[in-house]
């Protein structure tokens, strides 16, 4: 009994060493030391699915130390009463050496962070191949410096050792190009001053209370990543994720540290390379092909531009070191053979300065390389600076070492006034996430053009686009660009009450022209997420109105079965909620020669409805609140289409051209002011690299929907934003981060279980312990029988077992 009690006490003490109840009383360094000693804290990595050699050896050393002491104690009891001799001293020396070696080996293994096996799905706690690929691109030393205070919030202290281990893996993977440092700024005043002044790193006041004290601690919890003259700082809000179980129960974990750190490395690496020589990051030759009429046919402004083009091409040719080839030809030469060829291949048409101008000409520029064709737009001001910007933007699309530019178009919001909240849809969380990875530009398209340096166009819940804006979208696609659209034939209003109205945007017609039809219906799915709905409850004649989180069929909960894995666009996305989606139907004839990837589907029990009533009626329709359709089936909710597209404006005049009457209506230019001609073109057909990606919901990316989902989960819900980021990376041929973007701790949701499955697992949990007890009893009974038989054989009587 005494041995049992002593064993329980010792084991309890070792477990207590690493618990929050004890570590909360000490600073960061002491916490790390106690975590290394605690038998419970040592098991944390195993519970996460990581088998670490250091943890395994820790338990082996504990067993070895106490077994050694037990053997020595038994031997010592055998010597009791005998005088000490050389043999006794040898036993003591061997025991001390064994115990010392068992303990010292823990210190020797402490820095060996690579000796571990990550058994989690997707290896979420290990450096990925994507990170290694970015580290392999380093040409200069990369500095990663952790600013961590010794005294910090108790919930943040356990995260510091995990970040230290992860950053050490970066140092190992960098093969000498990555320097990792850890400092406490409050112990190094000169480094703290540098952090404050140069990198704008400030301590954060953390307030916390325990049963012993309530205090405020100013603490650092930052990571600086610097490459050349570029740097990025990650604060605690960038690195952690908080899940609120209740007001008094918070769980804090690292959000997705590898993605956050690797994303920052990618951004500063590309920014640094972008300031260098353009052709150093283009791995293959590029050909410039100009389809330009002779000077007699060109307007005066384009004659000047042609001279500027020749000068720019000569400059680029010298800088390229033989990587840039030049070929400029007149399409009308030799009977117009080339003109017919580029009409058929690229969809180019002769250009004109106005609708009534009969003088047509050609001025098209194309870059070709590695099987890709990028069209260079005419500069809006017809100057060399604009021409150079357009040329550089096109050349950068052949490189993998530059930050890409994403032009984002969202509906206009009305700012709040006189204490009233702002009206309209807001996408601040989407903007913030995209700005961390890309050069984010605004695209209002009022002039009928997309900015020349745009690599990808993202349209999120666009308002009614006028003809010029639609023309800008269309011609960006015709130049081989990628257009990502999140829209629906309906607009949803949740300000006062749930209501729906038709969206009259011409963008829906434009998508239909390309064989992507958004049907004027909404999808309802029994596999759905919750939504706060006002419920009326009658008690003794009184009506009470309260808000409840109820199952809402218009919030489709798309899980792994409904997420297509073709092409890798949805890699790392295991769940996404689509709010008020519309079904997509594809014109098979128009898309037969294009690459089509079906990205998202509803469950096979979903149905569609054209009803404009989206408030549930639980009294009439039961648990779902809506009538169930008679034709259930999986509905397509997102699709990516790549290939050649015919322009929406084919065989139509450019909306940017004006007639003489329209020009006169605007008015004559002021004296001394020269009116610039409007020169535009309509490209009839896109190259095969053009892409359209459609998400059939205009609301699933709004701040309101993301906040509602986050409140229901108790943590930040960013799966829709991660899905869009995946679509952008996939389209821009920069797919390194796809595999690690969805690794956040609390957002890895489990697949839902139906009622029968829930009962099965519940009863199985009850049955397995009972079966285990029965099995132990059976084994014990059989063991007793065999022992009785053995004793009977030894005693020579068959009746022994009956005595």
Same domain, 109 and 247: no
Residue 625: per-residue pLDDT: 86
The Cα 30–Cα 19 span in angstroms is 13
Q: Which of 80-94, 225-239, 401-415 has the highest mean predicted lDDT (pLDDT)? A: 225-239
pLDDT, tens digit, 9 for 90 and up, residues 187-213: 888 888 998 988 989 888 887 665 556
pLDDT, tens digit, 9 for 90 and up, residues 298-320: 888 889 999 999 999 999 999 88
Residue 383 in any domain: the answer is no
Residue 193 in any domain: the answer is yes
The Cα 329–Cα 313 span in angstroms is 14
Please, what's the b/e burial string for 474-507 (b: 16 or more CB within 10 A of its CB; e: otherwise)?
bbbbbbbbbbbbbbbbbbbebeeebebeebebbb
Nearest to 61 by CA among 109, 5, 114: 109
Nearest to 579 by CA among 683, 698, 481, 483: 698
The Cα 719–Cα 715 span in angstroms is 12
Same domain, 787 and 721: no
User: Taking the CA of residue 349 as centre, how many other CA atoms within 13 Å lie in the half-sphere pointing to its CB?
Assistant: 19
CATH number of residue 204's parent domain: 3.40.30.10
- The alpha helices in 610-686, defined as continuous H runs, are 618-621, 660-666
Residue 751: per-residue pLDDT: 62
The Cα 426–Cα 429 span in angstroms is 8
Residue 387 in any domain: the answer is no
Same domain, 110 and 129: no
The Cα 395–Cα 636 span in angstroms is 36
Nearest to 488 by CA among 461, 467, 468: 461
| Mean pLDDT, rounded, for 596-614 | 92
Is the Cβ–Cβ distance between 707 and 735 less than 8 Å?
Answer: no
The Cα 556–Cα 695 span in angstroms is 13
Residue 801: per-residue pLDDT: 47
Q: How many residues are given for the chain?
A: 803
Q: Show the tokens assigned to 720.
A: 């829709």
| Mean pLDDT, rounded, for 79-107 | 87
Residue 662: per-residue pLDDT: 42
Same domain, 8 and 131: no
Mean pLDDT estimate for the chain? 83
**Pairing verdict, β 372-376 and 363-369:** antiparallel
| Mean pLDDT, rounded, for 40-46 | 82
Q: Which residues are bridge partners to 516 per DSSP? A: 586
The Cα 84–Cα 249 span in angstroms is 59
Asked if the model's pLDDT at residue 483 lies above 60, the reply is yes
Nearest to 723 by CA among 527, 572, 582: 572
Is the Cβ–Cβ distance between 397 and 374 less than 8 Å?
Answer: yes
Is the Cβ–Cβ distance between 472 and 462 less than 8 Å?
Answer: no
| Mean pLDDT, rounded, for 758-776 | 89
Is the Cβ–Cβ distance between 726 and 576 less than 8 Å?
Answer: no
Is the Cβ–Cβ distance between 516 and 694 less than 8 Å?
Answer: yes
Q: Show the tokens assigned to 87.
A: 């043999």
Final residue of a structural domain among 46, 81, 116: 116
| Mean pLDDT, rounded, for 372-384 | 83
Q: Which of 492-506, 553-567, 597-611 has the highest mean predicted lDDT (pLDDT)? A: 597-611
The strand ranges marked E within 43-140 are 50-52, 116-118
Lowest mean pLDDT: which of 172-176, 227-231, 268-272, 410-414? 410-414
Final residue of a structural domain among 96, 116, 136: 116
CA of 49: how far to CAs of 46, 121, 743, in Å? 5, 9, 14
Residue 609: per-residue pLDDT: 93
Same domain, 128 and 224: yes
Supply the DSSP symbol for 752.
P
Is the Cβ–Cβ distance between 544 and 537 less than 8 Å?
Answer: yes
Is the Cβ–Cβ distance between 174 and 142 less than 8 Å?
Answer: yes
Three-class DSSP category at 318: helix
Is the Cβ–Cβ distance between 266 and 737 less than 8 Å?
Answer: yes
Q: Which residue has the higher pLDDT, 133 or 277?
A: 133
Is the Cβ–Cβ distance between 647 and 471 less than 8 Å?
Answer: no
Share of the chain above pLDDT 90, in %: 29
Q: Show the tokens assigned to 190.
A: 């000169």
Residue 248: per-residue pLDDT: 59
Residue 381 in any domain: the answer is no
Residue 209: per-residue pLDDT: 61
The Cα 177–Cα 227 span in angstroms is 10
pLDDT, tens digit, 9 for 90 and up, residues 249-279: 677 888 888 889 998 998 898 888 776 677 8
Inter-axis angle of helices 428-435 and 719-731, to 10 degrees?
40
Same domain, 160 and 226: yes
Supply the DSSP symbol for 335.
G
Residue 800: pLDDT band with limits 50, 70, 90: very low
Phi, psi (5° rounding) for residue 327? -145, 110
Nearest to 554 by CA among 622, 602, 484, 618: 602
| Mean pLDDT, rounded, for 279-288 | 85
Residue 213: per-residue pLDDT: 60
Q: State the Cα angle at 203 between 195 and 440, rounded to 5°.
A: 70
Same domain, 151 and 239: yes
Same domain, 210 and 89: no
Residue 737 in any domain: the answer is no
Same domain, 686 and 628: yes
Residue 782 in any domain: the answer is yes
Three-class DSSP category at 181: strand
Is the Cβ–Cβ distance between 470 and 680 less than 8 Å?
Answer: no
The DSSP annotation for 190-232 comes to: HHHHHHHHTS----EEEEEE-SS-EEEEEE-EEEEEEETTEEE
Asked if the model's pLDDT at residue 142 lies above 90, the reply is yes
Q: Which residues are bridge partners to 538 per DSSP? A: 543
Residue 775: per-residue pLDDT: 92
Same domain, 269 and 349: no
Asked if the model's pLDDT at residue 565 lies above 80, the reply is no
Q: Show the tokens assigned to 342.
A: 């580029």
Domain range for residue 224? 119-274
Q: Show the tokens assigned to 736.
A: 């390194």
Q: Show the tokens assigned to 558.
A: 């798309």
Is the Cβ–Cβ distance between 507 and 473 less than 8 Å?
Answer: yes
Same domain, 95 and 183: no
Residue 129 in any domain: the answer is yes
Final residue of a structural domain among 250, 274, 298: 274
pLDDT, tens digit, 9 for 90 and up, residues 430-477: 999 898 888 888 887 888 888 878 889 999 998 788 899 999 999 999
Cβ neighbours of 116 (radius 10 Å): 19
Residue 315 in any domain: the answer is yes
Same domain, 297 and 266: no
Asked if the model's pLDDT at residue 674 lies above 70, the reply is no
Tokens 């230290």, residue?
164
The Cα 288–Cα 284 span in angstroms is 13
CA quadruple 361, 367, 370, 373: dihedral sign: negative
Inter-axis angle of helices 159-173 and 257-274, to 10 degrees?
40
The strand ranges marked E within 385-495 are 405-409, 439-442, 456-460, 482-486, 490-493
Phi, psi (5° rounding) for residue 585? -120, 140
Three-class DSSP category at 436: coil
Residue 273: per-residue pLDDT: 79
- The alpha helices in 206-299, defined as continuous H runs, are 236-239, 257-274
The Cα 568–Cα 563 span in angstroms is 11
The Cα 730–Cα 733 span in angstroms is 5
Residue 747: pLDDT band with limits 50, 70, 90: low
Asked if the model's pLDDT at residue 154 lies above 70, the reply is yes
Structural domain count of the chain: 5
| Mean pLDDT, rounded, for 767-786 | 91
The Cα 536–Cα 547 span in angstroms is 9
**How close are the terminal C-alpha atoms of the chain, in Å?**
30
Q: Which residues contact 418 (CB under 8 A, 6 or more apart)?
A: none
Residue 659: per-residue pLDDT: 43
Residue 326: pLDDT band with limits 50, 70, 90: very high
Phi, psi (5° rounding) for residue 323? -85, -15
Residue 592: per-residue pLDDT: 92
| Mean pLDDT, rounded, for 316-341 | 90
pLDDT, tens digit, 9 for 90 and up, residues 629-666: 888 999 999 999 999 999 999 888 888 875 443 444 33
Is the Cβ–Cβ distance between 726 and 569 less than 8 Å?
Answer: yes
């Amino acid at each position: 009994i005494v041995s049992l009690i002593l064993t329980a006490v010792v084991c309890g003490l070792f477990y207590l060493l690493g618990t929050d109840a004890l570590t909360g009383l000490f600073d960061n360094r002491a916490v790390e030391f106690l975590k290394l000693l605690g038998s419970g804290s040592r098991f944390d990595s195993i519970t996460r699915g990581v088998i670490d050699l250091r943890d395994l050896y820790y338990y082996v050393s504990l067993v070895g130390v106490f077994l050694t002491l037990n053997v020595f104690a038994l031997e010592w009891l055998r010597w009791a009463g005998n005088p000490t001799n050389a043999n006794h001293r040898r036993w003591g020396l061997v025991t001390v050496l064994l115990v010392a070696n068992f303990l010292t080996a823990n210190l020797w293994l402490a820095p060996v962070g690579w000796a571990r096996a990550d058994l989690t799905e997707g290896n979420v706690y290990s450096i990925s191949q994507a990170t290694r690929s970015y580290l392999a691109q380093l040409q200069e030393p990369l500095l990663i410096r952790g600013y961590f205070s010794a005294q910090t919030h108790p919930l943040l202290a356990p995260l510091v050792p995990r970040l230290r281990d992860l950053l050490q893996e970066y140092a190992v993977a960098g093969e000498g190009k990555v320097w990792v440092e850890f400092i406490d700024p409050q112990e190094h005043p000169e480094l703290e001053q540098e952090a404050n002044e140069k990198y704008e790193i400030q301590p954060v006041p953390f307030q916390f209370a325990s049963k012993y004290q309530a205090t405020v601690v100013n603490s650092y919890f930052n990571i600086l990543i610097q490459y050349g003259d570029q740097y990025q700082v990650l604060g605690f809000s960038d690195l952690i994720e908080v899940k609120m179980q209740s007001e008094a129960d918070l769980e804090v974990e690292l959000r997705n540290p590898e993605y956050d750190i690797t994303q920052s490395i990618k951004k500063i690496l590309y920014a640094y390379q972008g300031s260098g020589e353009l052709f150093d990051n283009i791995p293959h030759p590029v050909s410039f092909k100009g389809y330009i009429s002779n000077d007699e046919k060109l307007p005066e402004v384009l004659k000047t531009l042609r001279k500027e083009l020749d000068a720019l091409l000569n400059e680029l040719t010298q800088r390229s070191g033989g990587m840039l080839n030049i070929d400029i030809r007149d399409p009308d030469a030799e009977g117009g053979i080339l003109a017919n060829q580029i009409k058929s291949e690229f969809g180019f048409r002769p250009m004109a300065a106005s609708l009534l101008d009969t003088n047509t000409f050609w001025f098209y520029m194309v870059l070709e390389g590695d099987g890709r064709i990028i069209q260079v737009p005419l500069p809006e001001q017809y100057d060399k600076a604009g021409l150079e910007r357009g040329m550089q933007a096109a050349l950068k699309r052949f490189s993998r070492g530059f930050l890409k530019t994403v032009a984002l178009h969202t509906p206009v919001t009305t700012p709040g006034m006189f204490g009233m909240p702002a009206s309209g849809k807001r996408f601040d969380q989407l903007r913030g996430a995209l700005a961390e990875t890309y050069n984010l530009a605004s695209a209002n398209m009022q002039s009928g053009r997309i900015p020349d340096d745009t690599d990808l166009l993202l349209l999120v819940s666009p308002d009614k686009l006028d003809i010029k804006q639609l023309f800008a979208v269309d011609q960006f696609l015709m130049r081989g660009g990628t257009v990502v659209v999140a829209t629906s034939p309906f607009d949803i209003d949740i300000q006062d009450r749930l209501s729906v109205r038709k969206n009259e945007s011409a963008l829906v017609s434009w998508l239909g022209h390309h064989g992507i039809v958004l049907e004027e219906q909404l999808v309802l799915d029994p596999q759905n997420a919750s939504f706060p709905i006002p419920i009326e409850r009658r008690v003794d004649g009184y009506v009470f109105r309260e808000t409840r989180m109820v199952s809402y069929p218009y919030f489709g909960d798309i899980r792994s079965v409904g997420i297509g894995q073709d092409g890798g666009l949805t890699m790392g996305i295991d769940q996404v909620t689509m709010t008020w989606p519309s079904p997509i139907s594809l014109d098979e004839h128009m898309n037969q020669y294009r690459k089509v990837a079906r990205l998202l589907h509803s469950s096979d029990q979903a149905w569609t409805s054209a009803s404009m009533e989206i408030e549930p009626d639980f009294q009439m329709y039961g648990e779902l609140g809506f009538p169930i359709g008679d034709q259930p089936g999986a509905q397509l909710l997102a699709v990516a289409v790549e290939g050649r597209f015919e322009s929406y404006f084919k065989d139509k005049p450019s909306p940017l051209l004006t007639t003489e009457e329209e020009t006169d209506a605007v008015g004559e230019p002021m004296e001394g002011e020269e009116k610039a001609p409007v020169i535009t073109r309509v490209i009839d057909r896109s190259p095969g690299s053009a892409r359209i990606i459609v998400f059939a919901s205009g609301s699933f990316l709004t701040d309101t929907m993301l906040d509602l989902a986050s409140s229901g989960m108790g943590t930040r819900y960013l799966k829709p934003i991660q899905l869009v980021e995946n679509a952008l990376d996939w389209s821009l041929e920069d797919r390194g981060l796809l595999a690690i973007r969805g690794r956040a701790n609390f957002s890895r949701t489990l697949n839902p279980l139906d009622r029968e499955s829930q009962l099965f697992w519940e009863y199985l949990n009850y049955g397995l312990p009972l079966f285990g007890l029965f099995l132990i009893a059976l084994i014990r009974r059989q063991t007793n029988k065999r022992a009785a038989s053995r004793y009977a054989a030894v005693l020579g009587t068959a009746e022994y077992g009956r005595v």
